[in-house]
Amino acid sequence: MTSDRTRRGKSTEVHGIFQKIAGYYDRMNFVMTLGRHEKWCREVAARVAPAPGGQLLDLATGTGVIALEAARRYPTVTVTGADFSEEMLRRAKAKPGAGAVRWQHADAAVLPFGDESFDGITEGYLLRNVEDLHGVLREQHRVLKPGGRLVILETCPPSGLVKPVVKWGMRVIVPLLGQVVARDRKSYSYLESSTRAFASPQGIAGVLRGLGFKDIGWRKRFFGTNVILWATKAG
Ligand SMILES: C[S@@+](CC[C@H](N)C(=O)[O-])C[C@H]1O[C@@H](n2cnc3c(N)ncnc32)[C@H](O)[C@@H]1O
């Protein structure tokens, strides 16, 4: 288990935020995405399509929305939900259907799994939180079997015609919702700044290509504020 002492700067800050917001994470997500988050998680689970009887990893599982959906959708697949926040995992384990998922404490920077262990990997909102995007995706490439699929849900830096409106909404509305719904403006100000500074889907696709992924694609959602990306590990 990674301790606060071995975790590095940004990682310690991110771990602290998710420990703190775990209790109202689902509620805030529902409000911020106008209820769409669960639908995107269903799409992520549908797109990963692991072989029957296979192994699926949901990384940064948080309160387990994608992992639980995958376990429901693929009853013959072993689903592992991994996260480094003990509090988020505690909430996931308390949900209906949680017994169908293996919950594991893990840091995405150093995955505690052998090479080529999984037929598919899903993740929601991990990448913008990590210090070393390339290193974290390299770890996922390592534990994925050749031909296995990776499906990523992420927030997207605003672009195009809606950019000024989205920027304003994220800077003003999101921290305000954090204040009203969760009494926590600071944690949700972090969301705005981490999204603004984060890589575009093209940027993530470039890293994936460089690591040996193929058949890379993506679809933006919710006025371009969220994106679902997919890629296959070359055989
Ligand atoms: C915004 S939540 C997303 C949870 C879930 N995937 C969803 O879509 O609702 C991000 C999660 O990533 C986890 N996380 C961030 N950095 C991590 C790391 N380096 N290793 C493991 N988990 C990490 C946090 O603890 C948190 O639970």
In the chain, the domains with their CATH numbers are 4-21+39-154+199-233 (3.40.50.150)
Sheet of strand 213-221: strand arrangement: 101-105, 78-83, 55-59, 118-124, 144-155, 226-233, 213-221
Residue 83 Cβ < 6 Å to ligand 1: yes
Distance (angstroms) between ligand 1 centre and the Cα of 60 equals 4
Candidate from 11, 80, 125, 198 with most ligand 1 atoms within 8 A of CB, to mutate: 125
Number of neighbours of residue 214 by Cβ within 10 angstroms: 11
Distance (angstroms) between ligand 1 centre and the Cα of 29 equals 13
The count of residues in the chain is 235
Residue 118 Cβ < 6 Å to ligand 1: no
The pLDDT value given to residue 1: 45
Type of residue numbered 183: R
Atom of ligand 1 nearest to the CA of 108: 20
- Residue 215 is labelled as binding a ligand: no
- Residue 83 is labelled as binding a ligand: yes
* Nearest CA residue ID for atom 1, ligand 1: 125
pTM of the model: 0.92
Residue 48 Cβ < 6 Å to ligand 1: no
Can you give the pLDDT of all 235 residues of the chain as single tens digits? 445 445 567 889 899 999 999 998 999 889 888 999 999 999 999 999 999 999 999 999 999 999 999 999 999 999 999 999 999 999 999 999 999 999 999 999 999 999 999 999 999 999 999 999 999 999 999 999 999 999 999 988 877 777 788 778 777 877 787 787 777 888 777 777 776 667 899 999 999 999 999 999 999 998 888 999 999 999 8
* Interhelix angle 37-48/25-32, nearest 10 degrees: 100
Distance (angstroms) between ligand 1 centre and the Cα of 54 equals 23
Answer whether 130's CB lies under 8 Å from 199's CB.
no
Its sign, for the CA torsion 42, 45, 46, 47, is positive
Torsion of CA 36, 18, 72, 34, to 10 degrees: -10
Query: For tokens 């195009």, what's the residue?
Result: 160
Query: For tokens 């890293």, what's the residue?
Result: 207
Candidate from 57, 58, 84 with most ligand 1 atoms within 8 A of CB, to mutate: 84
- Residue 63 is labelled as binding a ligand: yes
Answer whether 66's CB lies under 8 Å from 122's CB.
yes
The pLDDT value given to residue 174: 79
Residue 126 Cβ < 6 Å to ligand 1: yes
Atom of ligand 1 nearest to the CA of 123: 6
Residue 65 Cβ < 6 Å to ligand 1: yes
Answer whether 63's CB lies under 8 Å from 25's CB.
yes
Answer whether 90's CB lies under 8 Å from 104's CB.
no
DSSP states of 161-185 = TTHHHHHHIIIIIHHHHHHHHHS-H
Measured in whole angstroms, the distance separating CA 1 from the mean position of its chain's CA atoms is 20
What phi and psi, each to the nearest 5 degrees, are found at residue 234?
A: -60, 145
